[in-house]
């Protein structure tokens, strides 16, 4: 069967014999897998033909061949729908190819398009982008795009897909630690891990701290983000007013849960106030942890406190000595090593964000409810996290480690 006697509807996915077509060669044979028809194609330039052609090239050839046979665009489109089914060109594409072939276009590939070449993401351009970013890590994509001479979108793809970079804000830390303060943090963590490495040691460790809670607790900046239409105005959220009433919460807890907590309205922590609080906490401990207090050969309780003046006063230290409770001293500027600061207080403040309380009593009742909602497993997880944080602090040589993945160099 010759090519001129074969209809386009008989053409399918074809495999070409591997050959080279010089300019002026009359034809080459394309063997159709469906009907084994030889299709003669004029060659206008030197083309290397592989044994497996892309479907796009095959359909271009079929449209060109159908045009040479004198078929209309509609006939060609219907035949290609029969053969290629869902992969066939649309009628618009078939019509466009007809117009191009009739106007003298004799290649089966796509035309070169205007604009930036698709090969702009080359290794040298990626290296140049990386050099600019390392020179100024605060550079914006618009500035990098202008310096590189490429589009904004291409610069974005180089940064994210080739260099695997994302832009993050710097993390605020409580203090610029001195070498002595870093050494104190490491020493605290080593002592803590040596004494409380096992679960038995955690049974005899208490911790306490204090925090203010306001009648009006505004949301954080991220918590205030809202979806708004173009014509809508964003809400106005006030800060803490100077005259807003507040409540001071002082909790005592261990890895089994709360032991004792008290509220103080518009009153700061003093040594005269804190010492009776320790006596009340000891009474609560004898009730809530009786199985620990009465255990034979039980170790001595230790209490972990921060370095506020009331905790460091002679009156409080003498009271702890009478109770035979050694104090576990908190290193300076280390909220990341205090369970109340990295677990309890953020949890409570998040639950109160965006809420306004008419009276102090309602605020205290709400805090009681939120404290009661903390499960036994979460208290234990808090102390396990405390152990992991101490291990990371030693690994990071006393520097702040939250949000960090690589220890500082030696």
276-301 pLDDT tens trace = 999 898 888 888 877 666 666 666 77
Nearest to 126 by CA among 167, 168, 152, 157: 157
- Answer with the residue of higher pLDDT: 403 or 202: 202
Token code pair at residue 60: 């271009």
pTM, entire model = 0.64
pLDDT attached to residue 4: 36
Residue pair 354/219 in contact by the 8 Å Cβ criterion: yes
Given its phi and psi angles, is residue 257 left (phi above 0), alpha (psi -120 to 50 degrees) or beta? left
Distance, C-alpha 115 to centroid of its chain? 35
pLDDT attached to residue 11: 36
Using the predicted structure, report yes or no on whether residue 148 has a pLDDT greater than 80: yes
pLDDT attached to residue 127: 93
Residue 129's pLDDT band, with cuts at 50, 70 and 90, is very high
Least confident of 7-21, 317-331, 387-401: 7-21
Mean pLDDT over the full length of the chain: 79
pLDDT attached to residue 363: 93
Domain boundaries of the chain, sorted by first residue: 8-102, 121-162, 180-220+241-395
Residue 395's pLDDT band, with cuts at 50, 70 and 90, is very high
| In the chain, % of residues over pLDDT 70 | 77
Token code pair at residue 49: 């033909």
Nearest to 65 by CA among 31, 108, 119: 108
Using the predicted structure, report yes or no on whether residue 251 has a pLDDT greater than 60: yes
- Answer with the residue of higher pLDDT: 194 or 138: 138
Residue 18's pLDDT band, with cuts at 50, 70 and 90, is very low
Whole-angstrom Cα distance, residue 344 to residue 340? 5
- Provide long-range contacts, Cβ within 8 A and 24+ apart, for 102-111: 102/67, 106/42, 106/44, 106/45, 107/44, 107/45, 108/57, 108/60, 108/61, 108/64, 109/57, 109/60
pLDDT attached to residue 198: 57
Residue 213, CA distances (Å) to 210, 223, 240, 342, 353 in order: 10, 18, 11, 16, 10
* Torsion of Cα atoms, 389 then 390 then 395 then 396, to 10°: 70
Q: What is the mean pLDDT of residues 157-167?
A: 91
Residue pair 364/213 in contact by the 8 Å Cβ criterion: no
pLDDT attached to residue 108: 65
Using the predicted structure, report yes or no on whether residue 388 has a pLDDT greater than 80: yes
Residue pair 310/211 in contact by the 8 Å Cβ criterion: no
* CB atoms near residue 369 (< 10 Å): 10
Residue 368's pLDDT band, with cuts at 50, 70 and 90, is very high
Residue 220's pLDDT band, with cuts at 50, 70 and 90, is confident
From the options 3.30.420.10, 3.30.413.10, 3.50.50.60, 3.40.50.1820, give the CATH code of 180-220+241-395: 3.30.420.10
């Amino acid at each position: 069967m010759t090519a001129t006697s074969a209809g386009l509807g008989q053409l399918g996915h074809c495999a070409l014999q591997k050959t080279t077509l010089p300019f002026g060669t009359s034809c080459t044979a394309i063997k159709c897998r469906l009907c084994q028809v030889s299709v003669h194609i004029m060659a206008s330039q030197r083309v290397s033909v592989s044994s497996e052609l892309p479907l796009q090239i095959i359909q271009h050839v079929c449209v060109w061949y159908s045009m040479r046979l004198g078929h209309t665009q509609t006939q060609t489109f219907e035949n290609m729908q029969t053969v290629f089914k869902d992969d066939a060109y649309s009628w618009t594409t078939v019509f466009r190819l007809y117009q191009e072939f009739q106007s003298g276009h004799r290649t089966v590939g796509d035309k070169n398009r205007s604009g930036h070449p698709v090969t702009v993401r080359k290794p040298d351009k990626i290296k140049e982008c990386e050099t600019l970013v390392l020179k100024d890590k605060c550079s914006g994509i618009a500035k990098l795009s202008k310096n590189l001479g490429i589009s904004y979108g291409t610069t974005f793809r180089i940064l994210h897909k080739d260099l695997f970079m994302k832009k993050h804000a710097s993390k605020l830390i409580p203090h610029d630690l001195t070498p002595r303060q870093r050494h104190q943090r490491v020493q605290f963590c080593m002592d803590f891990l040596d004494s409380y490495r096992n679960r038995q040691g955690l049974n005899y460790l208490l911790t306490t701290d204090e925090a203010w809670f306001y009648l009006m607790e505004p949301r954080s900046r991220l918590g205030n983000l809202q979806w708004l239409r173009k014509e809508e105005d964003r809400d106005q959220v006030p800060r803490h007013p100077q005259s807003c009433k507040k409540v001071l919460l002082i909790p005592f807890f261990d890895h089994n849960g709360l032991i004792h907590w008290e509220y103080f309205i518009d009153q700061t922590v003093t040594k005269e106030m804190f010492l009776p609080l320790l006596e009340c906490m000891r009474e609560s401990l004898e009730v809530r942890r009786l199985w620990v207090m009465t255990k034979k050969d039980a170790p001595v309780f230790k209490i972990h406190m921060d370095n506020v003046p009331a905790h460091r006063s002679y009156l409080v230290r003498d009271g702890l000595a009478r109770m035979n409770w050694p104090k576990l001293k908190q290193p300076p500027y280390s909220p990341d090593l205090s369970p109340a600061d990295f677990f309890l207080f953020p949890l409570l403040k998040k639950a109160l964000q965006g809420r306004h309380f008419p009276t102090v009593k309602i605020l205290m009742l709400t805090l009681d409810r939120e404290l009661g909602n903390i499960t036994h497993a979460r208290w234990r997880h808090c102390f396990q996290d405390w152990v992991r944080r101490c291990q990371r602090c030693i690994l990071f040589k006393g520097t702040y480690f939250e949000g960090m993945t690589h220890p500082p160099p030696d």
